[in-house]
Amino acid sequence: MDALNLLGNSKDLIRGFAALLAAIEQANMMTGGQSQAAAPTVNPFANIQDSFTRYDEQELANGNKLRRYDTGNVRILNPRSGIVQEERPNGNFLVSLPTGRVIFQEQPGYPLLVFSSVHGGAPLLARVCVVQLGAASEARPAFQFEDSEGNHFVDLDTLRYVKVAPAHVQTATLVEQSAPQYQVA
């Protein structure tokens, strides 16, 4: 990269940083004790443009947000549970949980690994199963992994996250149960 391109990029970076600082200052003034009538009607974030995250977004019927990035990444966000699922063009797949854990699959067909960004350590194995949470609910496909806190489930359709204490989990294999689905209650 030559010096002229670097200089141009640094000017853009400085302008973006200045716009971010101005937006923070305006947001503080809006919420910092001033009355709503005195608050400016201008969107303080209008001048901020993050060139690294350009995407098209649509809201799904269940309230989740689907984002298609220029890079080819496809991300689904569940704003209620805080779960983010992302598929990348190179085949990587990850699910980020609000607990600091990340379910990661390097390529299709590879194992699902669960990493902890909070505690570190060796990764755990996750699997895809069909889960029924409560007698009144229907069985649904989910990611599942187990640790010292219990069993963790992420509904594949809704990206809902549930953690169940070990004493409350009952499992049955396909051979043991009469219904054609694997269930965890």
Rounded to whole angstroms, how far apart are CA atoms 99 and 94? 14
User: 161-184 b/e with 16+ CB inside 10 Å = b?
Assistant: bbebeeeeeeeeeeeeeeeeebeb
Q: Which two tokens stand for residue 12?
A: 């853009």
Q: Which two tokens stand for residue 44?
A: 């303080």
- Phi, psi (rounded to 5 degrees) for 74: -120, 125
| Straight-line distance from the first to the last Cα atom of the chain, in angstroms, rounded to the nearest whole number | 57
Kindly state the helix (H) or strand (E) to which residue 77 belongs, with its residue range.
strand 74-78
Q: Which residues pair with 144 in a beta bridge?
A: 127, 153
pLDDT of residue 27: 66
What single-letter DSSP state applies at residue 148? T
Rounded to whole angstroms, how far apart are CA atoms 94 and 113? 9
Per-residue confidence of the chain (185 residues) as pLDDT tens digits?
Answer: 444 444 445 666 677 667 777 777 776 666 554 544 555 555 655 555 555 667 888 999 999 999 998 888 999 999 998 999 999 999 899 999 988 999 999 988 899 999 988 888 899 999 999 988 777 778 889 999 998 888 999 999 899 998 887 655 555 444 444 333 444 43
pLDDT of residue 184: 45
Place of tokens 């996750």: 126
Rounded to whole angstroms, how far apart are CA atoms 54 and 110? 29
pLDDT of residue 61: 92
Every domain of the chain and the residues it spans: 1-49
What single-letter DSSP state applies at residue 26? H
Q: Which residues pair with 131 in a beta bridge?
A: 140
Sequence-ordered list of residues with C-beta below 8 angstroms from that of 177, at least 6 positions apart, any chain? 183
